[in-house]
Amino acid sequence: MKEYLDIFFTFLRMGAFTFGGGYAMLPMLEREIVQNKKWATSEEIMDYFAVGQCTPGVIAVNTSTFIGYKLKGIKGGVVATLGFITPSFIIISIIAVFMNNFSHLKVVQSAFLGIRVCVCVLMIESVKKMIKGGVIDMITGFIFVLTFLGMMFWLNNPVLYVIAGAVIGLLLCEKVRKKGESK
């Protein structure tokens, strides 16, 4: 029971202090799950995050579920998910009650403008960390550039890019492996 409470309260803290969606969650995930708790490695977090991007639902919730599942199976996944969504549920319920009454106020609009800018910075920091952890050689750099250009100028469908990245990675890594064996 103590382990489930630890999972719940760890994800409750992250859910309470993660503003701006899943990408803003990455620095906190890295600190709490990898460095403090040592429940996963940075590489595992990146993998969970990638899969969470491709599965239906919110990336941060999906990632929490994967980590909880890794730790304690289905019950761990449920506990981590409940921990992560509880603060949002409470906060959104409170905001919904007051939002219609105050959203027109200039001070509220200004506050949201400032919050959006801060969330952008958090997301940029997360992207930097993901690039450092994901782009490790010429092959992954090639996949990164192709995906970036595709998202910018062609099709904005993350599922297709993750599948294409997996296929390209398999094909190129296999080709490099075979080339190394023939030497």
**Residue 108 or 74, more confident:** 74
Q: Based on the domain organization, do 22 and 74 belong to the same domain?
A: yes
Same domain, 120 and 66: yes
Residues 81 and 166 in one domain: no
Domain identity same for 139 and 97: no
- Alpha-carbon separation of residue 90 from 95, 96, 98, 122, 147 (angstroms): 9, 10, 13, 23, 37
Owning domain of residue 172: 135-183
Report the helix count and the strand count for the chain, using DSSP H and E: 7, 0
Long-range contacts of 60-66 (CB under 8 A, 24+ apart): 60/15, 60/18, 60/21, 60/22, 60/25, 60/84, 61/85, 63/22, 63/25, 63/29, 64/11, 64/14, 64/15
Quote the Cα angle for 24-27-30, to 5°: 135
For residues 38 and 80, state if they share a domain.
yes
Q: Does residue 175 register a pLDDT over 80?
A: no
> Of 129, 144, 168, which one is at a domain's C-terminal end?
129
Please check whether residues 74 and 115 belong to one and the same domain: yes
Asked if residue 123 and residue 89 are part of one domain, the reply reads yes
CA dihedral over 70, 74, 79, 84, signed as positive or negative: positive
**Which residue in the block uniquely carries the two structure tokens 């940029």?**
124
Q: What is the pLDDT of residues 90-104, one digit of tens each?
A: 988 888 887 778 878
Cα separation, 144 vs 146, whole angstroms: 6
Q: Among the listed ranges 55-59, 69-73, 134-138, 163-167, which one has the minimum average pLDDT value?
A: 55-59
Question: Structurally, how many domains does the chain consist of?
Answer: 2
163 and 141 both lie in a single domain: yes
164 lies in the same domain as 110: no
Q: Are residues 79 and 152 in the same domain?
A: no
pLDDT at 105 over 80: yes
Of 105, 129, 153, the domain-final residue: 129
- Is the pLDDT reported for residue 182 higher than 70? no
Q: Are residues 91 and 9 in the same domain?
A: yes
Do 58 and 145 lie in one domain? The reply is no
